[in-house]
Amino acid sequence: MAKKLVIVESPAKAKTIEKFLGRDFEVRASMGHIVDLPKKGLGVNTRKDFTPKYEVIEKKDRLIDELKAASKRADEVFLAPDPDREGEFIAWSLQNVLGLKNPHRAVFHEITKRAVQEAIKQPRRINEDLFNAQQARRVLDRLVGYKISPLLWRRVQSGTSAGRVQSVALRLICDREAEIQAFVPDEYWSIIATLSKQQRPERFEASLIARLNDLEALNASESSTEGEESPAAASGSKVVKKGRIKVSSKEEADTILSDLKGATYSVLKYEEREQRRQPPFPYTTSTMQQDASSRLYFKPKRTMSLAQQLYEGIELGERGHQGLITYMRTDSTRISDEAQKMVKGFISQEYGQEYVGGGRTSKAKATTQDAHEAIRPTDVSLTPKSVKSYLSPEQYKLYTLIWNRFVASFMAPAIFDTVRADIGARQYVFRATGSNLKFPGFYAVWPREEDEKLLPTMKVGEDLDFHGLKPEQHFTQPPPRFTEASLIKELEEQGIGRPSTYVPIISTLQDRGYAEQEQRRFMPTWLGATVNEVMNKHFPDIVDTNFTADMERKLDDVEEGRRSWIEFLRNFYGDFKVTMEKAEAEMDRVQAPVEEMDELCPDCGRHLVIRNGRFGRFISCSGFPECRYRRSFVNKTGALCPQCGGDLVERKTKQRKRLFYGCNNYPTCNFAIWEKPAPNPCPNCGGLMVIPKVGQDPVCYNEVILPQRKTEEQPTPDGSAAKKTTATRSKKSAASAASTEDEAQASANGKTATRKKTSATTTRKATSTSKKTSTTASVKKSPAKKATTRKTAAKSTTAKSTTTKRATAASKKTATLPTE
């Protein structure tokens, strides 16, 4: 019988920890929270110090009884949920619901044998301040959500909601969209000269940067802003520094080209210098989510799910069950002294002492809690390669990212030899730059994102050979729409939310239909823009970024014991109640817009209209409610299906709501792709052109996309799921005119063959059963047995007929249904 009981959150963690603690311990899981505020009603007594009314979560009664029985059998009880505010709330809930007296609070920052055993040896009591901070957050969010949301239901649309943090995130998306809509692009031109050393084949490019008279002013402005990046440059706008030439029109570009006819190009200035590039910091929750999104194309929700699995533990063969990373909800880049010593030793052994760096340290921001270390491997010697066979492909990708980042952060800086040459041509100055990696440093494990541009060695006054001028027209770009990664970065920089809240924020915006993703970037829907407008007008404090960030800082004060949670809520609720009463009196009913179509209702002959509903846009009869005709709305891309010539339209997968593009003639045609189709056909083959990523130029689907697509998830035309296709086109099919159709049908053919095989097997089994029954019936039997035999034979015949019909139906269905 176990003498000590340990209660954690998840069964996976319980399984890992039980192996570390031995026979004297019983480890059980609470399966997350066991109590919460009620689903219906406010659940908070605002008149009595905001006392919350917690209820046992539905279907947790049996689990609680089991935990109570286990706690009574144990001499000691250790409560060991995750080491954060939410984990402290779960520990408090367990103590109260199970009726525990003075339980131990064990905190595991990593799930390794050493860390778990040390945490059990050095437990603490439940931290009331930490619990109160979580309780205050929960009550605050309930007050905002349950007071404002019903008002939005009545005045805007049923199913709408507001949240203390989600509404601010929605405002960021809507404000960015307003910037984009108001943006007026400016035209500018670049002029590139192709040059080489005299009588040398190696060519390089130089860009026009200034007039000769303005070069000194340009050098001065560059020196004063060296190492800085302006907001405009980060957003994609064209920034003109003092002294830099600005070519605003084709006429100006033509004038410069005319001036440069017959010009001699010679070197005015040539500089060589050594440049050091520092390694990145270890991962925090937000930077891990950002990199996993941009590098691995993982959604933040998926990233956190995989990180949780790596934290809780993986079966590693002879090593047993072990956690591979430290706790994944953190805003700190701090690394323990022991981990630093281990990683430096590993780097020295694997790469050499010259690769060992001091480690990056950053000054904690005012909003940083710094409760946990940065995200790192629990054992740096467990390289991604050594554990690959035990991990799923997605787990392996994320672990590799975390391991590489951690090791890179403690390696030496990379050293470059950089070269810059200013080249004069009459009254104009061109500039060429190049770099050469001299010492890789942290790039030995961290991938480089830029290519080397080498320049030949030149001398001041040296003449160069001229090979041509290339003028190019450009337009300044508006700030880009937020991706999941950039939205998380913005929330973190603004001090909005905390590591544990980024994923719920983004999920809520999409689940409520406030924002949609196009090419992985957020666009507000009509509903999102309307809710944002209403919130800005009637609840300006709730959607104010500074106000929300200040709330987070006050919650941190509650956690540190510097502020009472009741006082915090009382100060907020007084003003909020007044604002709420004013909004109730002044908020008008919002009428959803209706867009009339040039199409008549097939049921009643009246015009069809496009309406906005809770689940997006849809088409219905203008005579509603007398006429109930409706159908889904599709956005046409302007491109035609390469298989049947139908319209390619936007669709979404059913599970993850991921955008893809499919033929409007489905199920007759099952063509579907992830890339956005371009309306114009390929100028070379006349086939489909697609845009691989936002901001990229269209490319030929047949020539560029298909050759790269061998093993990759593909959308299905009905949006039910994404499938993995391993079909590889043969050389003949790649060269044939019908290659596009062959590729799209490859996976469907595999499924069809499987289904036909299954159907044939079923038919053979039914036939065999029928023959056996028939043989039995031919044997002489008593009248009673004969009657039974006849019934059996009749049932067998019916079964055979039914099975054959099902097999035939399955075969027919296979011919038309898309693969899943």
pLDDT bin (cut points 50, 70, 90) of residue 345 is very high
Strand partners for 691: 676
User: Given this model, what pLDDT does residue 170 score?
Assistant: 93
**Whole-number Cα distances in Å, 428 to 191, 241, 474, 476, 579:** 11, 16, 20, 23, 62
Instruction: Render pLDDT for 372-419 as a digit per residue (tens, 0 to 9).
Output: 688 999 899 999 999 999 999 999 999 999 999 999 999 999 999 999
Residue 763 predicted with pLDDT over 50: no
Residue 269 predicted with pLDDT over 80: yes
User: Given this model, what pLDDT does residue 656 score?
Assistant: 65
Top mean-pLDDT range of 432-446, 652-666, 707-721: 432-446
Instruction: Read off the pLDDT of each residue in 780-784 and give the average, rounded to a whole number.
Output: 38
Would you give the distance in Å from CA 201 to the centre of its chain? 46
User: Given this model, what pLDDT does residue 628 score?
Assistant: 81
User: Given this model, what pLDDT does residue 768 score?
Assistant: 44
Residue 232 predicted with pLDDT over 80: no
pLDDT bin (cut points 50, 70, 90) of residue 472 is very high
pLDDT bin (cut points 50, 70, 90) of residue 532 is very high
Instruction: Render pLDDT for 203-214 as a digit per residue (tens, 0 to 9).
Output: 999 999 999 888
User: Given this model, what pLDDT does residue 208 score?
Assistant: 94
| CA 34, 39, 40, 45 torsion-angle sign | positive
Top mean-pLDDT range of 14-23, 126-135, 365-374: 126-135
Which of residues 541 and 243 earns the better pLDDT score?
A: 541
- Least reliable range by pLDDT among 104-108, 272-276, 311-315, 451-455: 451-455
Top mean-pLDDT range of 345-349, 660-664, 755-759: 345-349
pLDDT bin (cut points 50, 70, 90) of residue 225 is low
pLDDT bin (cut points 50, 70, 90) of residue 362 is low
Instruction: Render pLDDT for 608-641 as a digit per residue (tens, 0 to 9).
Output: 887 766 566 788 888 787 888 877 777 778 888 9
| CA 176, 179, 183, 186 torsion-angle sign | negative
Instruction: Read off the pLDDT of each residue in 112-120 and give the average, rounded to a whole number.
Output: 84
User: Given this model, what pLDDT does residue 132 score?
Assistant: 92
User: Given this model, what pLDDT does residue 613 score?
Assistant: 65
pTM for the predicted model, two decimal places: 0.69
Residue-level length of the chain: 820
User: Given this model, what pLDDT does residue 718 score?
Assistant: 64
- Least reliable range by pLDDT among 80-89, 275-284, 345-354, 708-717: 708-717
Residue 815 predicted with pLDDT over 60: no
Residue 760 predicted with pLDDT over 80: no
Please indicate whether residue 146 is annotated as part of the active site.
Answer: no
- Write phi, then psi, for 600 (nearest 5 degrees): -95, 150
pLDDT mean across residues, the chain: 80
Would you say 472 and 190 are in contact if contact means Cβ atoms under 8 Å apart?
A: yes
Residue 765 predicted with pLDDT over 70: no
Residue 215 predicted with pLDDT over 90: no
Percent of the chain with pLDDT over 90: 30
Query: How far is it, in rounded angstroms, from Cα 571 to Cα 575?
Result: 7
667: cis peptide before it, omega within 30°? yes
Top mean-pLDDT range of 170-174, 507-511, 590-594: 170-174
User: Given this model, what pLDDT does residue 419 score?
Assistant: 92
User: Given this model, what pLDDT does residue 550 score?
Assistant: 87
Instruction: Read off the pLDDT of each residue in 164-172 and give the average, rounded to a whole number.
Output: 90
User: Given this model, what pLDDT does residue 40 score?
Assistant: 83
The two structure tokens encoding residue 51:
């006392």
Instruction: Read off the pLDDT of each residue in 218-234 and give the average, rounded to a whole number.
Output: 58
Cβ–Cβ contacts within 10 Å for residue 114, how many?
12
Between vectors from CA 302 to CA 6 and to CA 324, what angle results, nearest 5°? 50
User: Given this model, what pLDDT does residue 102 score?
Assistant: 87
Would you say 187 and 473 are in contact if contact means Cβ atoms under 8 Å apart?
A: yes
* Per annotation, catalytic residue among 54, 265, 327, 573: 327
Which of residues 103 and 752 earns the better pLDDT score?
A: 103
